[in-house]
């Protein structure tokens, strides 16, 4: 995309989009330009629409939604030609409940992660319910052992928050520090100086650990965040507290964990058990 790529990247940065979103949007726009091999301004509205319609027949709704969002940004913001994407609509993405790891599965997974730096990153993600990007970008000054909290900076939608610093996690981080001696301010450095460890490197380590741990469930770094919230709920934490710890803007995002918590579901009494008699007239008590 050349100059257009740089312009779109600048526009995304100016609007303060997350690094991951910037990367996805630029990749989608690059695929679009590469497909037609002409300037996007030369592609007609109906052609753009057919491009997305064709994609919808072979790709998942979530993937199509990302491409639609990228093209709408490209034409509406960078090229200032919103009329060319007026016919693009976001597809309805099916809502599917995530697989939830049990406490034992989390233990097996964390024990299988190598090297220790990646284990420390993922233990932080699970122990504090952090997004993987948040855990990777932590600074040494974000760990407040005196108060027992971690300061999560620049979370989703630029929200800061505090999360708990567990005693087990603190001990793990101290052992990690003893081994690696990272140069401040970055807590988990990457391959290059003064950079944070990459999400992709952590994901790869987690994928390898899943196989070693013999887990059949699909596992991603976000699986640990799901497990954190579900395990808190099962341990008696209230939804509002979990919402604050996760940094959710809406309580509705947090409430979905009541749908995946087996313990929470089993504690709820079925109205069938309250009937004075069972079908057929037999008394229940």
The answer to whether residues 113 and 213 belong to one domain is yes
Supply the pLDDT for residue 280: 60
- pLDDT tens, residue order, the chain (285 aa): 679 999 999 999 999 888 889 999 999 999 999 999 999 999 999 999 999 999 999 999 999 999 999 999 999 999 999 999 998 999 998 888 889 999 999 999 999 998 999 999 999 999 999 999 999 999 999 999 999 999 999 777 678 999 999 999 999 999 999 999 999 999 999 988 889 999 999 999 999 999 999 999 999 999 999 999 999 998 989 999 999 999 998 888 888 887 777 776 677 777 767 777 655 655 554
CA distance 10 to 4: 10
Active-site entry in 207, 217, 222, 240: 222
The answer to whether residue 90 is domain-embedded is no
Is 225 in the active site?
yes
Strands (E), the chain: 143-144, 149-152, 161-164
Could you list the residue range(s) of the whole structural domain that residue 145 is in? 103-266
Minimal CA–CA distance to 184: which of 196, 200, 201, 199? 196
Q: Is 88 helix (H, G, I), strand (E, B) or coil?
A: coil
Catalytic residue among 89, 156, 204, 240: 156
| Residue 197 belongs to domain with CATH number | 1.10.443.10
In the set 67, 117, 131, 210, the catalytic residue is 131
In the residue annotation, 212 being an active-site residue is answered as no
**Is residue 248 annotated as a catalytic residue, yes or no?**
yes
Exposed, middle or buried, 94 (CB in 10 Å: 0-12/13-18/19+)?
A: exposed
The verdict on whether 35 is a catalytic residue reads no
Residue 284 resides in a domain: no
Sheet holding 143-144, edge to edge: 143-144, 149-152, 161-164
Q: Does a structural domain hold residue 91? A: no
pLDDT digits (tens, 9 = 90+) for 4-59: 999 999 999 999 888 889 999 999 999 999 999 999 999 999 999 999 999 999 99
Q: What is the pTM of this model?
A: 0.76
How many distinct structural domains can be found in the chain? Answer: 2
């Amino acid at each position: 995309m050349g100059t257009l790529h740089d312009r779109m990247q600048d526009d995304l940065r100016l609007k303060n989009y997350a690094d991951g979103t910037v990367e996805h949007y630029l990749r989608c726009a690059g695929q679009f330009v590469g497909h037609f091999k002409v300037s996007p301004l030369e592609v007609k509205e109906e052609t753009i629409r057919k491009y997305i319609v064709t994609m919808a027949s072979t790709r998942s709704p979530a993937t199509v939604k990302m491409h639609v969002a990228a093209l709408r940004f490209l034409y509406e913001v960078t090229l200032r030609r919103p009329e060319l994407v007026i016919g693009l609509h976001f597809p309805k993405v099916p809502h599917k409940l995530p697989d939830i790891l049990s406490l034992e599965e989390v233990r097996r997974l964390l024990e299988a992660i190598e090297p220790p730096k990646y284990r420390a990153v993922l233990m932080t993600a699970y122990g504090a319910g952090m997004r993987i990007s948040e855990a990777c970008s932590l600074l040494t000054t974000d760990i407040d052992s005196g108060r027992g909290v971690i300061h999560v900076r620049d979370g989703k939608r630029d929200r800061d928050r505090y999360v708990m610093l567990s005693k087990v996690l603190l001990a793990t981080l101290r052992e990690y520090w003893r081994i690696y001696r990272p140069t401040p301010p970055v807590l988990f450095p990457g391959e290059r100086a003064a950079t944070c460890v990459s999400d992709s490197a952590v994901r790869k380590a987690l994928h390898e650990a899943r196989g070693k741990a013999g887990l059949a469930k699909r596992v991603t770094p976000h699986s640990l965040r799901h497990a954190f919230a579900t395990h808190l709920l099962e341990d008696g934490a209230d939804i509002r507290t979990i919402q604050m710890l996760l940094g959710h803007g809406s309580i509705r995002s947090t409430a979905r964990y009541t749908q995946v918590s087996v313990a929470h579901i089993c504690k709820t009494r079925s109205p069938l058990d309250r009937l004075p008699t069972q079908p057929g007239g037999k008394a229940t008590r």
